[in-house]
Structure 1
Amino acid sequence: MSAQRLPPLRLFAVFEAVLRSGSPQRAAAELNVSQPAISQAIKSLETHIGAPLLDRSTRPPTLTEAGRILQRAVTEGLGRITEAIAQIHAMQRVSPGSVTVACSVGTATYWLMPRLTEFYGAHGDVSVNVMTTAQGTPPITPGIDLAIRYGLGNWTDGRVLTLFAESVVPVCHPSLRQRVQEAGQGFDSLPLLHVNSGEDSWLSWRDYARAVGLPEPRGTGRSFTNYVQATQAALDGHGVMLGWESNTSDLIRRGRLVVLPFPRLQPKEAFYLVIPPHRADQPAVRTLADWLSGFAGSERPVVQG
C-alpha cells in the first residue's frame, strides 16, 4: 500500500480508541461521537485495508489476525507521533504551565493517563505532555520535566521520590480463567504470554516461577515486544500474562482481567518519580510532582478470590 493510498489517519485513531477503551461505546464517549459513527469508521478502515479487523461472531468482538497486525502498528505509530509532538512542545515552551513527563508506554497507557483526568479537575491551568519509551528507564533529556521510572531508585540525575511498590501476579480474561479451572490445568501447562523487553528488572515467567516455588512452565507460548501488546492479547483471551499491579489494577477493577490463584510476588524494584534539578523550581512542575507524590504508598493490590 503506497503512502497515497493510506486510509485517513482519523480511522486509525478510532481503531486505537476502540482497542484501548475496550468497546465502541466507550470509544464513542471518549471521542464525543455516536456509536454508529465508530462502527462506520471501523468498517471504512476494513474496506481500505481489504480485510476484517474484528471477528464479530464473538461477544464481545475480538481481533482477527489482520487486526492484531494493525494493532501493533497503530500502537507503535501513534506512540511515535505522541513522542514527536511532545518533543516539539518541549522545544517551543510557549506556556509556563506546560509539563512534560517521560515514562514507558505501558505506564502511560494503564497508569498515568487514566489518572490525569483527576489532576486536570484540580489543576486545569497545567498542561501535561506525555513522552513514552517502548521499555526501559526513560532518560532525562532536554525538554523532560519529570520522569516516572521503575527500578531501585539509585539514579543520580535528579531528585528521586518513591511513588509506590510494585507487585506481580498471573492474570487473564475471565473466560480463560473459567476454561483453565474446568480443565484442571496446573501452572506448568498454562497458555502463557511473554514480553521480551530485554530489561533485567522485567520478570520472566521462569523468574516468577522460581521466586514463588512453582514448577517451570512448559512450552513457549506467545511472545511480544512490549507490555501493551501482551495486555491486548490477554484482554482478547489468548493467554495468561504476568500482571504488574501498576498496569493491570484498573483493568482488574473493571472486570476485564481477573487474578489467577497463584502467589503474588513483590519485586525489590518500585516506581519512582525523578525531578531534574533544572526544573525543580518551576511552579507547574512542582504542582504535578506534588500531586504524583500523593500516590506514594496509596496503591494497593487488587485481590480476587
Structure 2
Amino acid sequence: MDHLPPLRLLVTFEAISRHGSMRDAAQRLNVTQPAVSQALKALEDHVGVALFDRSVRPARLTDAGEMLSRAVREGLGRIAATLEDIRALHAIGERQVTVSCTLGMATYWLMPKLPMFYADYPELTVNVQAPATDLPVLSPGIDVALRYGRGGWREGRTEKLFAEVICPVGAPALVERLLAEGATLAEAPLIHVRNPHNDHWAGWEDYLQARGIQRPRGGGQIFNNYVQAAQAIYDGRGLMLGWRSITGQAERDGALRAWPDGALDLGTSYFVTMPTTPSQDTLLFVDWVRKAAATV
C-alpha cells in the first residue's frame, strides 16, 4: 500500500480516461485544466511510464494507461459499491438480513423462494451475496451463510439443513435419445464446471470413479460456473452433475430429467451458519430457511 499514489491522482486519471479529454475531466471534477494536467504528470512520474500518447490528437491511452485505467475503474467502482452497502446496512429504520451463499444456491434455490418469505415478512429485506470464491463465510456485514460441504466450520452457530445427493441430469429429449441408443455414462456427452475456486465440489471424475465407470479423460464442454453450464444442458448440449437442491425443481417441472439410477450420496449436505448472538431478524430468516429446507 505504501507504493500507491495519492487517491486524488487516480480519481483525476480515471476522469480523463473516461471523458477523453482534460477539459471535460476538469469540468467534471470542478477544477482547473492546469490542475488536471499537473495531476496526470504527477501520476506518470509516480508510475514511471507515460499513460497517454500525446503524439496524436486527441491523446489516447498507452498500453500501460489502458491497464491502469481498467484497474482504477474497477477499484473505484468497488469502493463506491462498498460505501453503498455500508449505507444500506446502517439505514435508519430499515430491517435487513444479508445472506452469503453459492451462485447456484442463490439462483436456483434461494431466490425463487424469497417471494414466499416476503409474503410472511414484508418489512424485512434480504440481501443475497454470492462470493467469487464460492465459499460463503460469516464476515462483517454477513448475517447468514448457506454452505455446502461436510460441516466442521468453527465460526458462529452451524446446523445441517438437508443432505445433498448428486445425479447426472440433462434435457429430457437428450436423455431419452441416449437411453434409446443404449448409451451409458461412459459414452454420453458431459458438461463440466471447473474454476480455481470449486475444488470442494465433486466433478465428473469423482462421480465416475465412485460409480466404478471407466471413461477416457477429457472431452466435453467446460464452463466456469454452474449457471452457464445449466443453460447448456437446457439447450441439450450434454449431461451435467445435478445437486437436488439446485436442479430438483427443474426435474419436477419436467425441464430436466435425471439419469436413471444415477443418484449418488457423497456424504455432503447444506448447512446454515449464523453468528453466536444473532439478531432477531436473523433468527426469523433462519427459521424460515429451516422450513423451506424441509421441503427439499
Are the aligned partners of 2:187 and 2:215 in contact in 1 as well (CA < 8 Å)?
no
Which structure: larger Rg? Answer: 2
**Structural RMSD (CA):** 2.4
* SS across alignment from 1:277: coil
Counterpart residue number, 1:258:
257
Match status 1:283 vs 2:295: no
* SS across alignment from 1:185: coil
Length, aligned pairs only: 219
* SS across alignment from 2:137: coil
1:1-305 aligned at under 5 Å gives the runs 87-88=85-86, 90-198=88-196, 199-216=198-215, 219-278=218-277, 280=278, 282-299=279-296
Are the aligned partners of 1:111 and 1:246 in contact in 2 as well (CA < 8 Å)?
yes
Assess, with a 3 A threshold, how the Cα gap between structure 1 residues 260 and 217 changes in structure 2: closer, same or farther.
farther
Looking at structure 2, the residues matched to 201 and 88 of structure 1 have their Cα atoms a distance apart, in angstroms, of: 31
* SS across alignment from 2:138: coil
Query: 1:111 Cα shift?
Result: 0.5
The aligned amino acid for 1:283 is: Q
Query: 1:194 Cα shift?
Result: 0.3
Looking at structure 2, the residues matched to 89 and 261 of structure 1 have their Cα atoms a distance apart, in angstroms, of: 50
Assess, with a 3 A threshold, how the Cα gap between structure 1 residues 297 and 266 changes in structure 2: closer, same or farther.
farther
Are the aligned partners of 1:166 and 1:271 in contact in 2 as well (CA < 8 Å)?
yes
Unaligned runs of 5+ in 2: 1-16, 20-77
* SS across alignment from 2:147: strand
Are the aligned partners of 2:175 and 2:257 in contact in 1 as well (CA < 8 Å)?
yes
* SS across alignment from 2:202: coil
Are the aligned partners of 1:162 and 1:293 in contact in 2 as well (CA < 8 Å)?
no
Looking at structure 1, the residues matched to 184 and 87 of structure 2 have their Cα atoms a distance apart, in angstroms, of: 50
Counterpart residue number, 1:36:
none
Identical-pair percentage: 40
Normalising to structure 1: TM-score of the pair?
Answer: 0.66
Are the aligned partners of 1:188 and 1:215 in contact in 2 as well (CA < 8 Å)?
yes
Counterpart residue number, 1:46:
none
Looking at structure 1, the residues matched to 83 and 261 of structure 2 have their Cα atoms a distance apart, in angstroms, of: 42
Query: 1:209 Cα shift?
Result: 1.1
Looking at structure 2, the residues matched to 149 and 173 of structure 1 have their Cα atoms a distance apart, in angstroms, of: 27
Normalising to structure 2: TM-score of the pair?
Answer: 0.68
Deviations along 1:208-242, one digit per CA (max 9) or x if unpaired, are: 01112222355410001111111111111111000
Assess, with a 3 A threshold, how the Cα gap between structure 1 residues 96 and 191 changes in structure 2: closer, same or farther.
same
Query: 1:187 Cα shift?
Result: 1.3
Assess, with a 3 A threshold, how the Cα gap between structure 1 residues 252 and 135 changes in structure 2: closer, same or farther.
farther
Are the aligned partners of 2:162 and 2:294 in contact in 1 as well (CA < 8 Å)?
yes
The worse-fitting range, judged by mean Cα deviation, of 169-178 and 260-269 is 260-269
Are the aligned partners of 1:187 and 1:215 in contact in 2 as well (CA < 8 Å)?
no
Assess, with a 3 A threshold, how the Cα gap between structure 1 residues 95 and 157 changes in structure 2: closer, same or farther.
farther
Looking at structure 1, the residues matched to 118 and 286 of structure 2 have their Cα atoms a distance apart, in angstroms, of: 14
Looking at structure 1, the residues matched to 114 and 226 of structure 2 have their Cα atoms a distance apart, in angstroms, of: 21
Looking at structure 2, the residues matched to 108 and 89 of structure 1 have their Cα atoms a distance apart, in angstroms, of: 23
Assess, with a 3 A threshold, how the Cα gap between structure 1 residues 167 and 197 changes in structure 2: closer, same or farther.
farther
Counterpart residue number, 2:57:
none
Assess, with a 3 A threshold, how the Cα gap between structure 1 residues 241 and 89 changes in structure 2: closer, same or farther.
farther
Query: 1:125 Cα shift?
Result: 1.4
The aligned amino acid for 1:294 is: K
Looking at structure 2, the residues matched to 182 and 294 of structure 1 have their Cα atoms a distance apart, in angstroms, of: 40
